[in-house]
Structure 1
Amino acid sequence: MKFVFAMIVFMVTISVGSHVSFANSYEPIIHAINPNTTITFSTKKLTNKPVKVTIDTSKYEGGDHYLYDSFSKKIIKSNKITVDISKNDQYNFLPVDKDMDEESVPNYGFWIMIEVRNIDMTKPKIKVLKPTLEFGTGKYRLNFGITDYESGIKSVTRQTSYNSSYPSKEAFMSMDDSMIINRNGRYKVTATDFAGNKAVKYITVTDYKKAPLKVNSFTSKSNYITGKSMKNTWISVYNLNTGYRIAKVKTDSNGKFKASIGKQKTNTKLYVWTWHIPEKYVSASKDITVKR
């Protein structure tokens, strides 16, 4: 083959506009290509596996040449090659005379330039944050943060079966999330990115504790309901038959409370609930049936 030294003249550029989908923004780019050359990729989607790139120059100038790979700095003795690429980068190939050696390859000519950018082999990161108690309800909220600065967070699954998925156009590189738990134990959080990488985090909770709540016995002849909980804590009493709250009182410095509820009919079901409890305690509740 008679190699023609010339500057690049055939250029194909794929630009990513503002309206393309998130996933498409990671597609490989062909920056430059020779006449009668075809380039194919095993996948253009985000992946956590190597991408096979096939470059076929067999119809370029009779095919009487080899291909020089500038990344490995090797001459591949073929005019049609398939290379496994495992790292996002720009890769350049040049048709060269068959009798040329690596040291003689020029810096100019009809270079084939491709940019692979759809490989992500890094798992998302899950960080446990400080748990919080919801104001008023005292529910224990287990908090965690998730980051994935490569291909973005696709979905998060919590052990409580509360799942959330985010479509590609709304991918998050960083987000805070949480789940409500009801006991001490081991909880599982799974985060998956758009390339298919999956991270699993097990979070052990040992500081879950409910506020103490004691309700003294009373009958349908009683006008008051009494008991004990945390000091300076609100106590709400609901009539479950009607769905209305019938009393709201605050415990004293010793945690005792006395709520006026009026006489309630036998078998009426009441719900007694701590509210605005001190920090580090989860709200407690009791279902009470009025006795004769």
Structure 2
Amino acid sequence: MHRGKGMKFVGDSRVPAERKPNIPKDYSEYPGKTEAFWPNFLLREWMVGAVFLIGFLVLTVAHPAPLETIADPTETGYVPLPDWYFLFLYQLLKYEFAAGPYTVMGAVVIPGVAFGALLLAPWLDGGKERRFYKRPIGTGLMILGVISIIFLTWESVDQHDWEAAEQQGQIQEDMEIDESAAGYEIYQTQDSCISCHGGDMMGGAAGPNIFESDYDTDEVIDIIQNGIGEMPGDQFEGSDEELETLAAFIANDGQDPDNGDGGDGGDDEDEDDGEENNDGEENEDAGDNEE
């Protein structure tokens, strides 16, 4: 083609004088370099996806999900922990300027401004440069966002009490508690006890299972009055009789002590005492007869 033949000059550019239809070439013209989307390429994608799915299923079977005990709405001492991708927002709510009366700031305002800035970054920095160091606004917002997320996530993981979380999530064996007992009814009126040990008395993040230690009635009363470890004393609200009833209920592992074996043991002791008295009287009678 001679120079300029079949071309038109538009400014400093050259464009074809005649437009030709844009018809894609057949795959046979590019052997080994391209393939049809259906079914070749799509079938390959499905095979790769099936391999990853099988691997994921094997992983879930080998390492089951760390399930916790059944949720108890009365357990106010439970410390929740969101998934890892929400930890930075969870940590944000721990600071004074984003918690308490300022919860709206930490839950709505600050995340809204941050995500809004990232969404508006293409319009805030409309430059055509593709090098990141020549787009200071967009690059700065992205770097600030990444550093903030990494820092807040690290702080949340570092400050979380993992030992307490493991204890509060342990699945306890089912234990039958006599909810008709007077001691259970007294316990349900003690908000300070429920906040730590839960409404089912099986423990929570702030307090252990009430029945896991083998204490007698007097020891339970002493613990309730004087406290033990991190448990404060003088938290019981009620009379001395109610305190004794509750302590006896706890010492009897959640069962009404009046329905236990105590009464039978007393009858046996009375029978033994009666037999001893009868033996004593018979011996005395035998001695009198000999005289």
Does the alignment reach a TM-score above 0.5? no
1 or 2, which has the higher helix percentage? 2
Rg comparison, structure with higher value: 2
The TM-score with structure 2 as length reference comes to: 0.22
The TM-score with structure 1 as length reference comes to: 0.22
1 or 2, which has the higher strand percentage? 1
